[in-house]
Amino acid sequence: ETAINRIAAGEVVERPASAVKELVENALDAGASRISIDVADGGKTLIRVTDDGCGIAAEDLPLALSRHATSKIDGSDLLNIHTFGFRGEALPSLGAVGRLTITSRIAGAEAAQIRVAGGRIEPVKPAALRTGTVVELRDLFFATPARLKFMRTDRAEAQAISDMVKRLAMAEPSVSFLLRDVSGGGEGRVSFRSDGETGDLFDALHARLARVLGRDFAENALRIDATREGIRLFGYAALPTYSRGAAVAQYLFVNGRPVRDKMLTGALRAAYFDFLSRDRHPAAALFIDCPPVLVDVNVHPAKSEVRFRDPGVARGLIVSSLRHALAEAGH
């Protein structure tokens, strides 16, 4: 099984930032309100995600490390099962290619810990922790030297992690995020921090975008909210006069999770077409919410691609609602 997990790991975990994504998404799935992420050496030697979510029961710890064991599908999800194509892969994959320690505690029980390194699982033992989970991943890819070479410099990997955490933070404005670089030990250096935002959907999102993308973006952003054929588009899109120079600030989310998708970024360009120039790109943070049967977010586990059943509807919704908002704002 270790061999299978190592192969799967190549799919699920491309680089430290994808490990961070999997671990933070698990924390979010567990209902965490505070998530802190410590990394060292670009995540190559250490990624530690601490959450205050529901925790994992001691007897379920070995299960969390076995392939395709997930607590997240029950009979009622059978209709949407294809959207969970990569369920239950992350922890076994990480445990096959790195040294993974999970410490967890559910309410009303004692904390427990399990370790797995290079696929070898150790017995569960007692631990000390408040309710929640700490997942510590050391020496990513130590067990698969071929993959080690594919990692970029510490600086580049740290940057990719920071981008990923910011995307995840935009998607969950009410959750507190703290990202620290603990290379060299000690308290570390805070690379991103944002307390949970309060208020309604738009207020919280606006506040979080101000924190992540800057006040300037937030003050120059138009509120978008439109629904068509069961697909809702909402978020903020910057006025064409707002410019980040050549830097691209396009953040797209489908059903709450960050995605990268050519069709969606193409729609964004089309909406802003009249205002574009070589150093002027549309800036936006847009969320598409739709029934899971209308979109497959698991085309590839690590690449965050999506496939809409009817891409035309999503594209049309983006183009028309952004054009409409820009026109209303006098552009």
**Minimum CB distance to ligand ADP smaller for 27 or for 325:** 27
DSSP code at position 122? P
Determine if 269 is a binding residue for ligand ADP (CB under 6 A). Answer: no
How far apart, in whole angstroms, are the C-alpha atoms of residue 10 and residue 15? Answer: 9
98 belongs to the binding site for ligand ADP (CB under 6 A): no
Residues 314, 233: Cα–Cα separation, whole Å: 8
CA distance 65 to 97: 13
Q: How many other β-carbons are positioned within 10 Å of the β-carbon of residue 280?
A: 16
- Which one of 18-26, 76-84, 241-249, 261-269 is the stretch in contact with Mg ion (CB under 5 A)? 18-26
Please count the CA atoms within 13 angstroms of the CA of 1 that sit on its side-chain side.
11
Among 18, 26, 93, 183, which residue interacts with Mg ion (rule: CB under 5 A)? 26
Shortest Å, Cβ 169 to ligand ADP: 17
Query: CA 152, CA 166: separation in Å to the nearest integer?
Result: 20
163 binds, among Mg ion, ligand ADP, none (CB under 5 to 8 A by kind): none
Lookup: tokens for 62: 């070995």
CA atoms within 13 A on the CB side of 56: 29
Q: Using CB under 5 A, which residues numbered 251 to 290 contact Mg ion? A: none
The listed partner (ligand ADP, Mg ion, none) that binds 261, CB under 5 to 8 Å by sort, is none
Which residue, 14, 323, 24, is CA-closest to 169? 24
Among 90, 151, 264, 322, indicate the residue that binds ligand ADP (CB under 6 A): 90
Query: Which of residues 40, 47, 54, 90 is near Mg ion by CB under 5 A?
Result: 90
Q: How far is the CB of 75 from ligand ADP (least distance, A)?
A: 16
Report what 72 binds from ligand ADP, Mg ion, none; CB cut-off 5-8 Å by kind. Answer: ligand ADP
d(CA 281, CA 12): 31
| Interaction partner, residue 51 (ligand ADP, Mg ion, none; CB < 5-8 Å by kind) | ligand ADP
Exposed / middle / buried, residue 247 (Cβ in 10 Å: 0-12, 13-18, 19+): exposed
Which residues, 6 or more positions from 331, have their beta carbon under 8 angstroms from its beta carbon? 239, 240, 275
Say whether 296 sits in a helix, a strand or coil: strand
* Dist CA 232 CA 39 (whole Å): 35
Query: 3-state class of 58 per DSSP?
Result: helix
Are 119 and 55 spatial neighbours (Cβ–Cβ below 8 Å)? Answer: no
Asked if 67 is part of the footprint of ligand ADP (rule: CB under 6 A), the reply reads no
CB 179 within 8 A of CB 23: no
By beta-carbon proximity to ligand ADP, the closer residue of 42 and 55 is 55
Site for ligand ADP in 23-62 (CB under 6 A): 26-27, 29-30, 51, 53-56
CB of 56 to ligand ADP, least distance (A): 4
Given 17, 91, 116, 259, the residue binding ligand ADP (CB under 6 A)? 91
* Interface stretch with Mg ion, choices 87-95, 201-209, 250-258, 300-308 (CB under 5 A): 87-95
Number of neighbouring beta carbons within 10 Å of residue 277 = 7
3-state DSSP call for residue 318?
A: helix
Residue 17 interacts with, from Mg ion, ligand ADP, none (CB under 5-8 Å by kind): none
Please choose, out of 87-95, 138-146, 175-183, 218-226, the segment that lies near ligand ADP by the rule CB under 6 A.
87-95
Binding mask of the shown chain, residues 124 to 143, with x at each position contacting ligand ADP by CB under 6 A: ---------x----------
Q: Which is nearer to ligand ADP, 71 or 176 (CB)?
A: 71
Binding site for Mg ion (CB under 5 A): 26, 90
Residues that bind ligand ADP (CB under 6 A): 22, 26-27, 29-30, 51, 53-56, 64, 70-72, 87-91, 133
